[in-house]
Chain A
Amino acid sequence: MQKGKGKPFLEVFASAIHEDYRFPILELFVFFYALGTFALASFGSALLTMGASEEAVAYSLTSSVLGTPLFVFVILVFKNLAYGFGSDIEKGVIQTYLSYPLKRHQILSAKLLSAIGLSLLILLGIQIPALYLLAPDVVTPYFVVVLLTYAANLSPILFISGIILLATLMLRRGGLALVFGIVLYFAFSIASSMLMFVAFATKSSAALQIISLFYPSTALSRYYGMQFYPGIGEVWAPTFPEVALYIGASYLIAIFTFAMAYTYFCRRFSV
């Protein structure tokens, strides 16, 4: 960032935070994330899986706390991106920001830092210490597994968020973009479940590999031997480098959608 541009950037960032997290939205989310982590944490599958490795236990525990909180995270991010950013466009707030001595990509970065960055910080900042409190000897030695589980589960959300951002910029209407995002999220979840069944029915690993490109948690769960269908282990058992590759590829896809949104905002977007 160039010298002297920090303050306008912080102004836009502070204004975005003020709009995205009005009192007591942030506090309520923190409360439910903290409560949800303890209420949803389960070692059940780890105990049921005879001879499960300690890594698999760390994966299983982290996955157990991600279910509902991740859906809540999706709502918060979609609301901030589509509704928050969309209403800024509709009300002409973006026009005011464009008059600031800031480049367009900096304005978008400040908005995204508030909409996605802070939401992510709340989720991880609450859940990881809560997991540590619950099971320090599971989280500490396998912290990489915990982070990997979060990374695998967050990439599809970031991918859809990128599409929502692009849709918001193109449609210029927050409400419509929000509906589009929710429909897209469910469509992807349904398609993923259907492909999973196809993989099980045809005993083909190709369907699972396609899902893993968008939902790398599928590859990670297979790596740790979690069975969503009986006998699926015989269909596909990825190695760790393969899992890392799928996680990397899914983030590349997510980065590509955001890059498109940035390009559109910087070059084509007109108020």
Chain B
Amino acid sequence: MKRWTILLGRGGAILIAIGCATFLVSLIPSATVGNFKGNGGLWAETWDVRYENVLSPQQGLSVSVTANSTIKVYLLEVRFQTIYEWINETHPHLYETNPSQMFNETYLTEFLEANPQTVAIEREIGDGGTNFEYTPTKVTNVSLVFCNPNPSFTQISYEGYMLLIIAPKAKMQILSQITIPVGFVLTLPWIVAYSKTKKKSMRNF
């Protein structure tokens, strides 16, 4: 058997092994380890944080939100305290004059424009609702922020689950979908050569 055939074949077998391992990992279901939910409203042109936690790449978040009017939903990779402190530093007299103004939509927009890297997910929902899943790529703080840009009070309802995952399922599936077929193609010449050698030795026997 030619050496390059063996080399390609073993390389292909390694790819199949990697593909099988990642496929097996992708089959492991995620576990729900905690939940949160709430109903309430948001005053006109205000924002609020309704959930915050520290997540790792092995912890995901599944959130569903409904509202009776158009609102913006953000999942920010930052603590509520950080947003609050940023607004406080940028507008130092705001807290002294009117603390409730801290939650004015304008200041959240300013914060997001100055720190666009903190936005993990941004959704605008109308009369219906939205669902999203999020898994961070590092250990990070996350805050679920609702922003009501309307000139009137909006009723919102939200529910979320914290998911425990072993590895990002989608990435694992894509990897196994690539490596297994490529590995199989690479091993083919090796398998053919091996079966020919076997046949020849059987005939000689």
A28 touches B17 (CB 8 A): yes
A39 touches B57 (CB 8 A): no
- The answer to whether residues A24 and B13 also contact, given A39-B166, A41-B58 and a CB cut-off of 8 A, is yes
A14 touches B3 (CB 8 A): yes
Which residue of B25, B59, B138 contacts A38 across the interface (Cβ within 8 Å)?
Answer: B25
Residues of A near B192 (CB, < 8 A) are none
Residues of B near A46 (CB, < 8 A) are 56, 139
Say if the beta carbon of A147 comes within 8 Å of chain B.
Answer: no
Say if the beta carbon of A26 comes within 8 Å of chain B.
Answer: yes
Say if the beta carbon of B168 comes within 8 Å of chain A.
Answer: yes
The residue of chain A having its C-beta at the shortest distance from the C-beta of B183 within the complex is: A27
Interface string of B74-116 (1 = CB under 8 A from A): 0000000000000000000000000000000000000000000
Nearest 9 pairs between A and B by C-beta?
A43-B56, A34-B21, A137-B138, A137-B137, A31-B17, A135-B57, A35-B21, A38-B167, A27-B17
Which residue of A27, A52, A133 contacts B175 across the interface (Cβ within 8 Å)?
Answer: A133
The interface size of chain A toward B, counting residues with CB under 8 Å, comes to 28
Which residue of B18, B22, B54, B166 contacts A47 across the interface (Cβ within 8 Å)?
Answer: B54
Say if the beta carbon of A186 comes within 8 Å of chain B.
Answer: no
13 residue pairs A–B, Cβ–Cβ below 8 Å: A14-B3, A26-B13, A27-B16, A31-B17, A32-B21, A43-B57, A46-B56, A57-B138, A57-B139, A133-B167, A133-B168, A135-B56, A136-B137
Say if the beta carbon of A30 comes within 8 Å of chain B.
Answer: yes
Residues of A near B13 (CB, < 8 A) are 23-24, 26-27
**Interface of chain B residues 52 through 78 with chain A (CB within 8 A):** 54, 56-59
**Interface of chain A residues 121 through 178 with chain B (CB within 8 A):** 126, 133-138
**How many A-B contacts at CB < 8 Å in the complex?**
78
Q: How far is the CB of A210 from chain B (nearest CB, A)?
A: 33
Residues of B near A28 (CB, < 8 A) are 17
Interface centre among A23, A32, A46 (most CB of B within 10 A): A23
Say if the beta carbon of A204 comes within 8 Å of chain B.
Answer: no
Q: In whole angstroms, what is the CA distance A35 to B176 when docked?
A: 12
Residues of B near A32 (CB, < 8 A) are 21
**Interface of chain A residues 33 through 55 with chain B (CB within 8 A):** 34-35, 38-39, 41-43, 46-47, 52, 54
Q: In whole angstroms, what is the CA distance A23 to B187 when docked?
A: 13
Q: How far is the CB of B54 from chain A (nearest CB, A)?
A: 6
B21 touches A47 (CB 8 A): no
Say if the beta carbon of B14 comes within 8 Å of chain A.
Answer: yes
The residue of chain B having its C-beta at the shortest distance from the C-beta of A52 within the complex is: B139
Say if the beta carbon of B8 comes within 8 Å of chain A.
Answer: no
The residue of chain A having its C-beta at the shortest distance from the C-beta of B9 within the complex is: A23
Q: How far is the CB of A37 from chain B (nearest CB, A)?
A: 9
Say if the beta carbon of B171 comes within 8 Å of chain A.
Answer: yes
Residues of A near B3 (CB, < 8 A) are 14
Interface centre among A31, A38, A47, A137 (most CB of B within 10 A): A38
Residues of B near A133 (CB, < 8 A) are 167-168, 171-172, 175
A134 touches B138 (CB 8 A): no
Q: How far is the CB of A36 from chain B (nearest CB, A)?
A: 9
Q: How far is the CB of A243 from chain B (nearest CB, A)?
A: 22
Interface centre among B16, B24, B136, B137 (most CB of A within 10 A): B137
Residues of B near A134 (CB, < 8 A) are 57-58, 167-168
Residues of A near B139 (CB, < 8 A) are 43, 46-47, 52, 54, 57, 138
Q: In whole angstroms, what is the CA distance A32 to B14 when docked?
A: 11
Residues of A near B20 (CB, < 8 A) are 31
B18 touches A42 (CB 8 A): no
Residues of B near A38 (CB, < 8 A) are 21-22, 25, 166-167, 172
Q: How far is the CB of A190 from chain B (nearest CB, A)?
A: 32
Q: How far is the CB of B115 from chain A (nearest CB, A)?
A: 16
Residues of A near B58 (CB, < 8 A) are 41-43, 134
Q: In whole angstroms, what is the CA distance A42 to B139 when docked?
A: 11
- The answer to whether residues A135 and B17 also contact, given A35-B24, A43-B56, A47-B54 and a CB cut-off of 8 A, is no
Residues of B near A47 (CB, < 8 A) are 54, 56, 139
Residues of B near A41 (CB, < 8 A) are 58, 166-167
Interface centre among B3, B21, B24, B172 (most CB of A within 10 A): B21
Q: In whole angstroms, what is the CA distance A47 to B142 when docked?
A: 14
